[in-house]
Structure 1
Amino acid sequence: MAKITFDENNALFALDIGTRTVIGIVVSMAEGHMKVLAQAMVEHQSRAMLDGQIHDIPRVAEAVQKVKAELEKKLKAPLQKVAIAAAGRSLKTRRCRVDQELIEDLEIDAMMIHTLELMGVQRAQELLEQETRQGGEGEKFFCVGHSVVGYYLNDYPITNLEGHRGKKIGAEVLATFLPASVVNSLYTVLARVGLEPLYLTLEPIAASEVIIPEQLRLLNLALVDVGAGTSDIAISRDGTITAYGMVPTAGDEITELVMETLMVDFMTAEQIKRSLWQGQDIRYQDVLGTEVTVACEEVMQMIEPAVENLASEIVRHILDLNGQTPPKSVMCVGGGSQVPSLVDRIAEKLGLIQQRVVIRNRSNISNLVDVKKKDLAGPEGVTVVGIAAVAARKQGQNFITVTVNGQPFTLFNTRQLTVLQALGLLEFNPRELLGRNGKDLRFTLNGKPKTVYGELAKPAVITVNGHPANLKTVINDKDIILVEKAVPGKDAVARVADILGNLPVNAQSCCLLNGQPAGPEQLISPGDVLEVTLTPTPAEKPSPQPGPAASALQGKPIQVTVNGQAILMEGKSEYILIDVFNYYEPDITQSSGMVEIKRNGNAVEYTETLQDGDVIEIRW
């Protein structure tokens, strides 16, 4: 590959502002590959950051300024824009269970499942905001990802709800949020040193970008970025990063244990911790000025409780994010991952062989070329390269603006957003996506159960930029989303006349509703008992058997077939369709309120004249 020199048009500046260090890197991009042009690292001289959170803006800005100045000196060029990442300590994760009552025997479809997920995300956000209000924070949060831990059908766990029927569905949702104040503090630090934010991502997303590239995300993998203040986690499965999490313990807890036990200041304890991997005796000066030599094994025994606790917390969070199932492999980055025995303990607790839990460094980044520099070549230098990689791929897409039902919204773009995620961020009521079918009317007709079905609901209609869409449709900057709320169906209503259809009947004399005579306009209520007896009116009753002369005047009998049954019609000079019901009694218990009659395969009126041999079909 040809040598690449600094060019502001194809170079990208990235910063990893961590709890212990600030690492800056400038990479050039060509043909999909990155090359490190310059890099610098500065350690915080005080605890200006705790657990990945900026506490002292001026001092953090001072460290960033030193990194910026060193890079500009190496490049002999000014730096103006930078890509950064929010630390995992900023992530707030909440887990909650939501349930939804269903209409009986309704088949569960994808829309219902996705809506249930949205309800879970919103419920998790409500819980988080309630906690912050109680604490007096009043913080605003962005949902940056969620995963479904499990589904439930009638309170029983189930793998996939789609296609099933039941009275209640449920989901346990794990949602991750980022407080707006984190973004504000990072941007304030940049403004103090004359830098503009080019792109903002999350640290676990950045590390995943280069350690678990897209071609590996079909596998169920876990990435753990063990820093000084936090251990960030990302889970891949089914071609994407499905969940993010954070363990509020990391390398600093081990350092603090060394401080207390050996009576040293924080920086000395940090140096002792970092030298453990060498396996040699360690010389240091305690706070009383005494020169001390301690065996590496002795320090390892000393920090064993902290390492054990860190491994346990990491494993617990991995299992929570991955549905209580161990991933196929765990990839560790960050300076804290080099603590002796940590990866072995993680493997043991997950039930994985040791070769499945590994430390990754820059040599494992496939699109990073010409890796010759020894500085920051280990796991501590991975995340900053990931920040640059994410920014290069999504440059200019940090926040996106979409319009929902005519109202514009700005959304934090952490990954490919879908309509479902956007509606969750915008506090859209998920119940408006599901229409309730009208209630069925159930009663008894001539001793048999009868049901008149309620009207079906009109489902919600979603479009993106005028094209049909659904909750899983990916959205982009400036998209226009329209959501037409679902329309509930009307409850079933039936009168006595609706059940009788157009049959010739004296309703007062042949219809009993709950034992009382019922008129054709009387409404039927759930649980009613309707009894119908089809009795021809006097004008429609067969005439007495005529004598020979009368028979000649009234014509000959005819034979027709009604629903496969042969009927002999006699006693009249002419027969019309309605006369059929004097000889044939239909089963009105199968009525749905509408009757369809055909004569010789064609539609027919009740007054049409019948001919011998006609075939009549009566259907409900």
Structure 2
Amino acid sequence: MEKENIAVGLDIGTTKIVAMIGKKNEYGKLEILGVGKSKSLGVARGVVNNITQTIQSIQQAILEAENNSGYKIKDVVVGIAGQHIRSIQHTDYISRHNPEEVIGGNDIQLLIDQVNKLAMLPGEEIIHVLPQEFKIDGQSEIKEPIGMYGGRLESSFHVVVGQASSIRNVGRCIQSSGIELSGLTLEPLASADAVLSQEEKEAGVALIDIGGGTTDLAIFKDGIIRHTAVIPFGGNVITDDIKEGCSIIEKQAELLKVKFGSAWPGENKDNEIVSIPGLRGREPKEISLKNLSKIIHARVVEIVDQVFTEVKAYGHEDPRKKLIAGIVLTGGGAQLKHIKQLVEYITGMDTRIGYPNEHLAGNSDEEISSPLYATAVGLVMKSIENKTHSAIRIDAVEQPKAPVYRQVVVQTPVVDEIPDKEEEDQSSNEKHNSTVNRIQRNFFDRYVDKIKDFLDNAE
């Protein structure tokens, strides 16, 4: 029986951990088979700071996803974020021995390998090397160099760098949870896959993913990633401000923010008041919704200002001319009332809320279509792209074993290693169109192997 291409994404966030199992249906849309969600304990601002608690949270999310779907998870594609992430622009070139020979994937791989040898700050490692535009013998703006001729192959690269220890801690948590790591991807890139259209990426767009601990930014122009950044503030600092400003506990502050919060104070009338139950028989506390909105507004303005500074650094003071598609907001923070209007007011750029439902099958649960799950959906899409078989049916796992005397010590060939005719045709088309993507994936496979080796040696 042929293996199903079941994909699994794991979003390790500051406030929540989401395990999502999915597959492509016959219409090419993503069908979500199961979702598991747990409170994230042990992660602060996107970085693991308590391994034991993080393992417990991952196991809880994985178990819930397995129970909901009827599939047993083997491996996952994980999102990397956190305040330790930074990005740099770099240009590099190689001189080819024979200019009369056609440029192939090996030449691009050679160029990428050269960039991977760049000296980083102590304790830092390169996560992504993303080729942008190529130059061949001085001819610029070449997006697909394969098949061309030339002596000097040059490219500009978007290089994403992170703390090696933080990345290895994530790998360690996953391995200790009893599953394998099949791939790593930068979270804003995963969110971008889930909520942005190709037209927006061509026209120029800034994706702002407002999470619990961090706010991630990814800028695209001409279909190419141009800039990424992670701002170490998110929805949690808004909750903390409400807690301090209204003298209430964190649970009540979060509930107030979600149910009654608004980023625009003018929307609330002076006489709108909500009553909070007192602790252990104390008098209830009355809170003005106008004051609540003022607290939220002040912090959201601060976050948006920081993100917009990054956007302006790319767009040279007037990003509106460069980024025609404007801004797309996603993540849990994008659900805050009137945040779209506030971002438009501060930046002067067209803004919309990004929902992942464009890629989801029509019968998908409404909750999954929320901006809250954009990163998880993007990670499942990345897992599908890698053609992983990340989960198998639980009933297939729990079949009774053959008697000992019938066992034969012969390895069964893995079905997914023998591509059928349709897959071969598809891969020959993809070979032409997505060389750069394939090379990035090759790099990631090697990177994941490197983390596995490190973890094995550490044990």
- 2:388 and 2:6 mapped to 1: Cα distance? 15
In the other structure, the counterpart of 1:25 is: 20
Q: 1:139 aligns with which of 124, 134, 143?
A: 124
Alignment partner of 1:370 is 2:354: no
Q: CA deviation at 1:234?
A: 0.9
Q: Write out per-residue CA displacement over residues 233-288 of structure 1, whole angstroms, 9 at most, x where no aligned residue.
A: 11111122222111222111111111111222333322221113587744434668
Q: Could you say if the C-alpha distance between residues 282 and 53 of structure 1 is closer, same or farther in structure 2, counting changes exceeding 3 Å?
A: farther
In the other structure, the counterpart of 1:389 is: 381
Q: CA deviation at 1:477?
A: 7.2
In the other structure, the counterpart of 1:292 is: 285
In the other structure, the counterpart of 1:43 is: 39
Q: CA deviation at 1:343?
A: 2.6
**SS at structure 2 position matched to 1:40:** strand
User: Whose helix proportion is higher, 1 or 2?
Assistant: 2
CA contact (8 A) 2:51 2:169 kept: yes
Q: In angstroms, what is the RMSD of aligned CA positions?
A: 3.8
- 1:473 and 1:362 mapped to 2: Cα distance? 21
Alignment partner of 1:311 is 2:284: no
**SS at structure 2 position matched to 1:299:** helix
Q: 1:11 aligns with which of 6, 9, 28?
A: 6
In the other structure, the counterpart of 1:439 is: none
In the other structure, the counterpart of 2:186 is: 202
- 1:53 and 1:282 mapped to 2: Cα distance? 35
Q: Write out per-residue CA displacement over residues 455-505 of structure 1, whole angstroms, 9 at most, x where no aligned residue.
A: xxxxxxxxxxxxxxxxx99847779xxxxxxxxxxxxxxxxxxxxxxxxxx
After superposing the two structures, state which structure 1 stretch, 175-184 or 62-71, moved more. 175-184
Q: CA deviation at 1:214?
A: 3.3
In the other structure, the counterpart of 1:346 is: 343
Amino acid at match of 2:124: E
Q: Could you say if the C-alpha distance between residues 342 and 313 of structure 1 is closer, same or farther in structure 2, counting changes exceeding 3 Å?
A: farther
Amino acid at match of 1:292: K
Q: CA deviation at 1:86?
A: 0.6
CA contact (8 A) 1:86 1:182 kept: no
Q: What are the residue-to-residue correspondences of 1:386-465 with 2, within 5 Å?
A: 386-395=378-387
Q: CA deviation at 1:396?
A: 6.0
CA contact (8 A) 1:89 1:229 kept: no
**SS at structure 2 position matched to 1:309:** helix
- 2:241 and 2:300 mapped to 1: Cα distance? 10
Amino acid at match of 2:335: Q
Q: Could you say if the C-alpha distance between residues 262 and 477 of structure 1 is closer, same or farther in structure 2, counting changes exceeding 3 Å?
A: closer
Structure 2 unaligned segments of length 5 or more: list them: 92-110, 134-139, 142-155, 263-267, 390-435, 444-459
**SS at structure 2 position matched to 1:10:** coil
**SS at structure 2 position matched to 1:78:** strand
Q: 1:265 aligns with which of 246, 249, 259?
A: 249
TM-score normalised by length of structure 1: 0.50
Q: 2:232 aligns with which of 244, 248, 256?
A: 248
Q: Could you say if the C-alpha distance between residues 290 and 58 of structure 1 is closer, same or farther in structure 2, counting changes exceeding 3 Å?
A: farther
Q: What are the residue-to-residue correspondences of 1:12-161 with 2, within 5 Å?
A: 12-31=7-26, 32-44=28-40, 46=41, 48-93=42-87, 129=121, 133=122, 138-142=123-127, 144-145=129-130
Q: CA deviation at 1:95?
A: 7.7
Q: Could you say if the C-alpha distance between residues 375 and 477 of structure 1 is closer, same or farther in structure 2, counting changes exceeding 3 Å?
A: closer
Alignment partner of 1:219 is 2:203: yes
**SS at structure 2 position matched to 1:140:** strand
- 1:478 and 1:378 mapped to 2: Cα distance? 32
Query: How many residues are matched?
Result: 346
**SS at structure 2 position matched to 1:370:** coil
**SS at structure 2 position matched to 1:275:** helix
Report sequence identity in percent: 19
- 1:244 and 1:286 mapped to 2: Cα distance? 44
Q: CA deviation at 1:182?
A: 2.9
CA contact (8 A) 2:37 2:64 kept: no
Q: Could you say if the C-alpha distance between residues 198 and 176 of structure 1 is closer, same or farther in structure 2, counting changes exceeding 3 Å?
A: closer
Q: Could you say if the C-alpha distance between residues 246 and 23 of structure 1 is closer, same or farther in structure 2, counting changes exceeding 3 Å?
A: same
- 1:95 and 1:204 mapped to 2: Cα distance? 17
Q: CA deviation at 1:184?
A: 1.2
In the other structure, the counterpart of 2:160 is: 176
Amino acid at match of 1:337: A
CA contact (8 A) 1:231 1:248 kept: yes
TM-score normalised by length of structure 2: 0.66
**SS at structure 2 position matched to 1:344:** helix
Q: CA deviation at 1:19?
A: 0.5
